[in-house]
Each structure stands twice: as C-alpha cells, then as structure tokens.
Amino acid sequence: MSDIPADLRYTTSHEWLRLLPDGQVEIGITQHAQEALGDLVFIDVPAAGRSVRAGEACAVVESVKAASDIYSPVDGTVVEGNPAVAASPELVNTDPYGAGWLMRIRPQAPAASLLDADGYARLLADAG
Amino acid sequence: MGQQTPLHDTHVRQGARLVDFGGWDMPLHYGSQLEEHHAVRRAAGMFDVSHMCIVDLCGLGAGPFLRRLLANDVGKLRTPGKGLYSCMLREDGGVLDDLIVYRMDDTFFRVIVNAGTRAKDLAWIRAHAGDLAVDVVERVDLAMIAVQGPEARARVAALFPPEAAARLLDLAPFVACQLGRVDCASTALAECFVARTGYTGEDGFEIALPAASAAAVWEALHSQDIRPAGLGARDTLRLEAGFSLYGNDLDEAHDPLASGLAWTVALNPPERGFIGRAALEARLPQVREEITGLLLLDRGVLRGHQRVLTDRGEGLVTSGSFAPTLGRSIALARVPRGVEGRVAVEVRGAQLAARIVRPPFVHHGSVLIPAEILGEQP
C-alpha cells in the first residue's frame, strides 16, 4: 500500500496539498505518482507571482521515460517554486511529501472537490 | 496480460516493474533505472532479452539466401561464429527490421530479430526462402540474457569451467560460439550460445540458452554481482551508444540511407542482388535526410516526435531521453542532410537550443562529446 499521509488533501491527478499555517498551500506529487513515473530527471516549477487557475498545468515533472504536467488544484498566485527540486529532481523520488514539494500557492478561494487520505486510498484501490 | 519469458517469475520475485513491450510483459526496471544504467556503464548488468526472436537458417542454401535477403553481405563472414549487423529491406528499400546474423558454419546461420517484428519477419523470411535448400527454424525453445558492462565478460566466465571460460574470454568482438554439454559440468550452463555483442555501448555477452535453464543461469549470474536491469536502462544505454531502435529511428517508411545506416549496406560486390538494392541505388544520388545526434543545451528533456528546426529545413526527433552518463538530454533525430551546429527543438511549446553531435555519445564508459561542446551555453 502506498504511503498516504492523513494530514494532506489529494487530487484525482495524484497531486497532494498541505495547508500551511499562513493560509498558503504547498503542492507536490504523491508517493504513488513518483513510483509510477520512476526516476525523475527534470522538473520545471512556476515562477513566483504567476497567477494560476484550478486545473491549469503549471509545472512539469519528467522522468527518464516520460513528461507529466502538474495541475494547480486551486485558483491563486504562485508564491514560490521549490528551487531544490529544480536542481535535484530525485528529491521528489526520495521525499515526495517533504523536501520534494513543488510549489506554494496563495489561494484565492478554498479548493473544491479534493480527496482526503481515505478517498485517495480508495481511488488507488479502484484503479489498481 | 502479454506473453511471458521463462524469467517472468524471477523478475516478479526481484521486484521488477513490468510493462508491455511488443506484446510481452517485460521488466521496465527493478527499482531505479538510473542505478541500473550506471551499473552497466561501471560494472555489469543483465537484461532478459528472451522476447527477441532467434531464427536459425540451416542448409546448403542458407548462405546464398541470406546474401539475397539482407542489405549487408554475409559473404564478409569468413570466420566461424562471426556476426554482422544488417537491415532487412522491402523491395522499395524501406527497413523491415534490423538484426544480427551469425555464421556458425557454412550451413548454419543464426539470425536475431526484434520482438515487435517477429511475425512479419518470419513471414517475409519464409516467403522468400521459398523452395531454396534452407530450413527456417524459430527457436522458441531458447531464452536470451544479455550481460553488459566492463566487468561482464569476466563475471560470466567465472561461472564456467576453465576451458570453456578461456574460450569465452578469447572471443573477439562480434563473434559467437556454441558451448556443448561436454564443455560444462553444470547442466544449467550447458548448451549456451555466447556472442560478444550487445546493445549498450559496453563490452559483454549475449547468451542464448535452453528456456528451462534460464532461471538457474540468471540466479548464477546474479550471484556474480551482475545487476538485473530493465528495458528503461536498456533504452538510455543504447541511445547514449547511438544505436537505432526499430520503430523509433528505423521503420518501413525510410531506407537505411536516410536512417544513418548507409555503412550497413554492402553495395560491393556489385553483382550481389539483394532485396531493395535497385531502390537504394536509384535513390543514392539524392538522399535528403539522415539520422544524427542532438545534445540539448537548454534545460529539459528531448523526446521522440519533437520538431527540429534547422537552417536547411525541419526534422524530427526519433528517440530522445535523459542520458544518465552525461546528466544531460540527448536524442537521435532525422534531419535534412548536412545540418551542422546549432538547431532549435520544439519542446512543449518552447524552442530550446540544441547542438548537432555525431553519435555515439558514450562508448565503453567514456563520454565522446568534447568538453567544449558540453560546456556550451544555450
């Protein structure tokens, strides 16, 4: 079973969200997603200040084999793209819920239709 | 579920992530394809290549038949066991497949073709064999393991009794030998066909053996510290080595002259009439495209089907990936003939700077791209 922290929220496209104390959201990809992609070798994160819409492709993670878009789960403004993963993409493989975060966004409105850990676990089980 | 090789259960037990490849369930990696890639460049790795198709051509007519069937000339194969890389062409010059043929003796040639082209290749070979004195035998009874890397030959040879080991270590590049039952005390290692060939740009062996022995031999190789590696690493290794992948860099729509494989077409002697020869000779004065290598100067990853923009017109990436030995992205691309220097590649809507670099990019562990080119700014 994949590691699915209970304190995060999830999307059906395998991003996770962490609500930060200052109201920002931190976004990354799940353990399941990084396993499916394999060794990551290139990550493009959005620049600070960029406005994003929920469902908009705003980052790219590329493994040796394939490129995948990362979609913003919320409307908002990018506060920071993680410079560490741009320099060391393997951080997403080794620590997807920690040092491998991709970006922080200041949301304009609460995110709609996110999954909790149980819901995401069911999604993986149904797909499995 | 696809077809399974005799090593399927072994792969599952070793934690392989399996993917469909040409209708076969094959290991993509066993955890990290980057580590598997480096293991092959630095020491030794092994690949299950049992999905590939071994076809034995036997009989007095086998040699003459192959001289007509293949664009390269098996008449060059003078020593027993010597192998040759060749394309098999349609009448119009389109590449049906690329393959290796070994001349074991005057009446026994072994041909190894790609998995995805097995059915069409066999049909083509049988149709053209017609009533010639040649038997076409598909060796579904054999498995195949490729052991590659600077330590590969020594670690394989260590499993064999001294005389057989000496024979293996004496094999010249691109030469194969068949070990008989008497050569080996171990029954699992008996009846191995061992060729000093590969698809990684490293030294090593490709071993064909009875399917029933495959799992035991795989375990024995593993005990020699030879690391299992999947198709993911195989693809990045072959790309760094500049080897074509059929279906990506080679296909029926292009002839070998437009695919970087003119060197594999033997137009001498002129009287050898091989299938596709007339078409190639007619096109020879006006070849407009070639396959060349690209090094990406910008950040990103080159992928197949991306457009290449050059001062001589457009081209297309045929194979692209991240090259683990270089830590950079490289590609093979079909471009207008004679393009040099800088080009642009359309990657996800942006035009990224790349440079034409003649493959191979890496050979026997060494990076062949000059340092000043690797250091170029986009």
Residue pointed to by tokens 């092994």? B46
Domain ranges of chain A: 9-112
* Nearest of A68, A8, A14 to residue A44 by alpha carbon: A68
At B65 the pLDDT is 97
At A18 the pLDDT is 96
Which of B17, B34, B299 comes nearest A64 by C-beta?
A: B34
pLDDT tens track for B313-366: 999 999 999 999 999 999 999 999 999 999 999 998 899 999 999 999 999 999
The Cα–Cα gap between A101 and A84 comes to 9
At B191 the pLDDT is 86
Task: With CB atoms and an 8 Å threshold, state whether A42 touches B34.
Answer: no
pLDDT tens track for B179-199: 876 655 566 777 899 999 999
Q: What is the mean pLDDT of chain B?
A: 95
Confidence grade of residue A127 (pLDDT, cut at 50, 70, 90): confident
Confidence grade of residue B173 (pLDDT, cut at 50, 70, 90): very high
pLDDT tens track for A59-115: 999 999 889 999 999 999 999 999 999 999 999 999 999 999 999 999 998 777 899
At A128 the pLDDT is 67
Q: Is A62 on the interface with B (CB under 8 A)?
A: yes
Q: List, in sequence order, the alpha helices (H) in A62-116.
A: 83-87, 90-94
pLDDT tens track for A28-46: 999 999 999 999 999 999 9
Which of A39, A42, A65 comes nearest B300 by C-beta?
A: A42
How many Cβ pairs within 8 Å bridge chains A and B?
Answer: 38
The Cα–Cα gap between B107 and B58 comes to 5
Minimal-distance CA residue of chain A relative to B30? A38
pLDDT tens track for B217-257: 999 999 999 999 999 999 999 999 999 999 999 999 999 99
Taking phi first (over 0 means left), then psi (-120 to 50 degrees means alpha), and beta for anything else, what does residue B174 get?
left
Residue B113's CB: how many other CB atoms inside 10 A? Answer: 25
Q: With DSSP H G I counted as helix, E B as strand and the rest as coil, what are the percentages for chain B, rounded to 5?
A: 25, 35, 40
To the nearest whole Å, the CA of A42 is away from the closest chain B CA by 6
Task: With CB atoms and an 8 Å threshold, state whether A42 touches B324.
Answer: no
- What is the mean predicted confidence (pLDDT) over B21-44? 96
At B183 the pLDDT is 59
- Asked if B39 and B227 count as a contact pair (C-beta separation under 8 A), the reply is yes
Class of domain A9-112: mainly beta
Enumerate the residues of chain A whose CB falls inside 8 A of the CB of residue B17: 38
Residue A124's CB: how many other CB atoms inside 10 A? Answer: 16
The Cα–Cα gap between B373 and B15 comes to 39
At A109 the pLDDT is 81
Task: With CB atoms and an 8 Å threshold, state whether B329 touches A42.
Answer: yes
Q: Is A41 on the interface with B (CB under 8 A)?
A: yes
- What is the mean predicted confidence (pLDDT) over B284-302? 95
At B182 the pLDDT is 60
All domains in chain B, ordered by first residue: 1-286 (3.30.1360.120), 288-378 (2.40.30.110)
The Cα–Cα gap between B207 and B49 comes to 9
